[in-house]
């Protein structure tokens, strides 16, 4: 059974297959063709964290493919101790063909993959954000006409998004650099496992954001305080003040560098309006592509052909 619990758990060939499926389905969608290859299939989404793009992209993707979707919050799904999580997973699996979870705990996603009996997709956890990173790679390929050899520079907290971006770079032959303050960079244990899985991956960490973006094809950022870190918002705003992506930083990357953000953006904090709305921003095509990549993920998980 195929799960997408993290990018560390699948092969590079799987990543490329998902991207190829997504590309074919997007091309057909742009031509007005929405093949109902998942007709009669049911998607169940279980969210502990709110979302705009994640929920809508997965629901729209399943609808376009002829299926239907059900949405459950944490309380609705019985994840507050009403019954054993393994029992919840088995019950939901009995009603579903594929399950998406957006959670705090990676362990919850792994448990659903173990007990539900159905393909499980990580819609986000505190540890990783694989569908976002797949979408980012897909968008880079569209915008630049290539993926292999691209340098992706990430500026900000070494969070779940940064982790999955580093992994997708390893899968696809991109170079990865991160500019973050000391104490907020990628953890040594993660870097060790990353290099073990992807020995050819070029990955660099810098405390200086200018150094991190030098020579980059893409400059990427995310919020400085993620969901669950609200109490740290003010302190992080001070710590990351020099890591704002603005016109000056984009200039250091070079005149052709594109800008990406997984959204929602805190305009005026991690990025300026001038950059988000500027001619080098591909933020909104990136957001739309969440839907197209979701289709590729579903078709890959369920082992269907297009």
Q: How confident is the model at residue 233 (pLDDT cuts 50, 70, 90)?
A: confident
Are 162 and 121 contained in the same domain?
Answer: no
Indicate whether 182 belongs to any domain.
yes
Q: What angle do CA 285, 282, 279 make, to 5 degrees?
A: 130
Q: Decide if 1 is inside a domain.
A: no
Number of domains forming the structure of the chain: 2
Q: Rounded to whole angstroms, what are the CA distances from 92 to 71, 106, 206?
A: 11, 18, 44
Residue 230 predicted with pLDDT over 80: no
Residue-number span of the structural domain to which 199 is assigned? 132-286
Residues carrying an active site annotation: 102, 129, 132, 222, 262, 290
Whether 113 maps to a domain, the answer reads yes
Does residue 220 lie within any of the structural domains? yes
- Kindly tell me if the per-residue pLDDT of 231 is higher than 80: no
The reported pLDDT for the residue numbered 154 is 98
177 and 202 inside one domain: yes
Average pLDDT estimate for 41-47 = 98
Query: What pLDDT is attached to residue 12?
Result: 98
Both 108 and 142 in one domain: the answer is: no
Q: What is the average pLDDT value for the chain, to the nearest integer?
A: 96
Residues 117 and 197 reside in one and the same domain: no
What tens digit of pLDDT does each residue of 160-169 get? 999 999 999 9
Write the pLDDT tens digit of every residue in 203-213. 999 999 999 99
State the pLDDT confidence band at 152, using cuts at 50, 70 and 90. Answer: very high
Question: What would the pLDDT profile of 8-24 be if each residue is shown by its tens digit?
Answer: 999 999 999 999 999 99
Q: What is the average per-residue pLDDT within 241-269?
A: 97
The CATH number of whichever domain residue 67 belongs to comes to 3.40.50.1370
Find the mean pLDDT for residues 61-89.
94
At 298 the pLDDT is: 98
- Residue 2 domain-assigned? no
Are 80 and 221 within one domain? no
pLDDT on residue 82: 86
pLDDT higher than 80, residue 229: no
My answer on whether 121 and 139 are in the same domain is: no
The verdict on residue 306 lying in a domain is no
Q: Are 118 and 42 in a shared domain? A: yes
My answer on whether 149 and 295 are in the same domain is no
Is the C-alpha dihedral spanning 264, 189, 12, 114 positive or negative? negative
Are residues 24 and 122 located together in one domain of the fold? yes
Query: Integer distance in angstroms from the first to the last C-alpha of the chain?
Result: 19
Give residue 226's pLDDT.
79
């Amino acid at each position: 059974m195929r799960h997408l619990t993290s990018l560390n758990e699948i092969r590079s060939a799987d990543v490329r297959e998902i991207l190829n499926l997504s590309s074919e389905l997007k091309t057909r969608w742009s031509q007005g063709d929405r093949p109902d290859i998942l007709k009669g299939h049911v998607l169940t989404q279980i969210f502990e964290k709110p979302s705009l793009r994640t929920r809508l992209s997965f629901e729209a993707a399943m609808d376009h493919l002829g299926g239907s979707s059900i949405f459950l919050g944490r309380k609705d799904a019985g994840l507050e101790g009403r019954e054993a999580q393994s029992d919840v997973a088995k019950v939901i699996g009995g009603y579903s063909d594929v399950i998406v979870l957006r959670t705090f705990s990676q362990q919850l996603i792994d448990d659903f993959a173990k007990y539900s009996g159905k393909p499980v997709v990580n819609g986000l956890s505190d540890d990783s954000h694989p569908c976002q990173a797949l979408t980012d790679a897909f968008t880079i390929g569209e915008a630049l006409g290539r993926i292999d050899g691209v340098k992706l520079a990430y500026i900000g907290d070494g969070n779940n998004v940064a982790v999955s971006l580093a992994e997708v770079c390893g899968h696809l032959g991109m170079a990865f650099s991160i500019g973050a303050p000391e104490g907020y960079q990628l953890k040594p244990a993660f870097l060790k496992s990353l290099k073990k899985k992807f020995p050819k991956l070029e990955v660099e960490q810098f405390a200086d954001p200018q150094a991190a973006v030098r020579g980059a094809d893409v400059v990427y950022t995310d919020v400085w305080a993620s969901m669950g870190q609200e109490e740290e918002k003010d302190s992080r705003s001070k710590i990351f003040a020099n890591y704002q992506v603005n016109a000056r930083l984009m200039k250091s990357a070079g005149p052709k560098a594109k800008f990406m953000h997984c959204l929602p953006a805190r305009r005026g904090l991690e990025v300026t309006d001038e950059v988000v709305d500027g001619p080098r921003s591909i933020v909104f095509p990136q957001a739309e592509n969440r839907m197209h990549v979701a289709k590729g993920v579903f078709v890959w998980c369920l082992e269907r052909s297009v």
